[in-house]
Amino acid sequence: MQAGGVEERYEQALHLTGRSCTPEESQAAFDAMLAVAREGFLPAMVHVAMKYDDGGWDGEEAIAWLRRAAHAGDPDCAWRLAAYYPEELDPGQDPDEVMAAAARAGGAEALQDAADKAGQSGDDEALGTWLDVALQRGGPTLAVHVLDGAVSRPGALSLFERALAAAQDDEDARRRIHDVLARFFHRSGSTDAVAGWLDRAVPSMPPKDLVSVSALLPLRFARTCLERLRENHDRPSPTSSRTWHEIASDLLREREERGEDTGTAGW
């Protein structure tokens, strides 16, 4: 069958998966995806492997599909196989080497695992290397997985700045990076770190991004963020008749009135 036909049926299976509500509909969607996976279409193979593995439906089937997808070149399935089922690797394969290779290939789970290990060991150089891999392989969205591993590192602020610079035209990626950045500031416990970053970021950061970050920060840090917003963005919002100064003032006042000491992330 033509590859285009397989791709079309894969998209149809995804559509069914997204709209399924009843157990019968879910099973029908999975059966449709399984049929495409059996034809060797890699995205469908990965979907089936993850479904079996995450759902705990059938351990043998999970391993079988992880192996198939890994052999077909999917790095995350290779990483899962090495991380959770190392005895199922091909003879002579070393689990650590397989996981490292999966990270170098841009696997999201593999990169997050590699970044977590680098963060825990204090290897800032390795964190920078993994961020480079993520940006090259998948852009700022993939970089979020590396930044998750960097929140415990005091010197990781430059990594967030690099990721945000790469995400200038990707609003969803910026939002996700802001979420991790807010956790970094929360963990650092330093208003000086927040203020220093804002001093560098304000000239190029869209006002709505400052509002996004401030909503995630604990109140004692949000004040610093909102003060910068009020000082530097006294101009109308494109979606409101109010200025960014007014929006920031109202947001800060509302949070103070509620007595919030933590941001909306709820750490």
CB 82 within 8 A of CB 63: no
pLDDT tens track, the chain, 267 positions: 444 589 999 999 988 888 877 888 888 998 999 999 999 999 999 999 999 988 766 789 999 999 999 999 999 999 999 999 999 999 999 999 999 999 999 999 999 999 999 999 989 999 999 999 999 999 999 999 999 888 888 778 889 888 988 988 888 888 888 888 878 877 776 667 766 776 676 666 677 777 777 776 777 677 777 777 766 666 666 666 777 777 777 877 887 787 655 444 332
CA 51 to chain centre: 20
β-bridge mates for residue 236, sequence order:
243
3-state secondary structure of 39: coil
| Number of residues that make up the chain | 267
Domain limits of the chain? 1-19+28-96
Kindly give the residue spans of alpha helices, DSSP state H, lying in 57-123. 59-71, 75-84, 95-104, 108-121
Q: Partners of 243 in the beta sheet? A: 236
What is the pLDDT, as a whole number, of residue 236?
Answer: 63
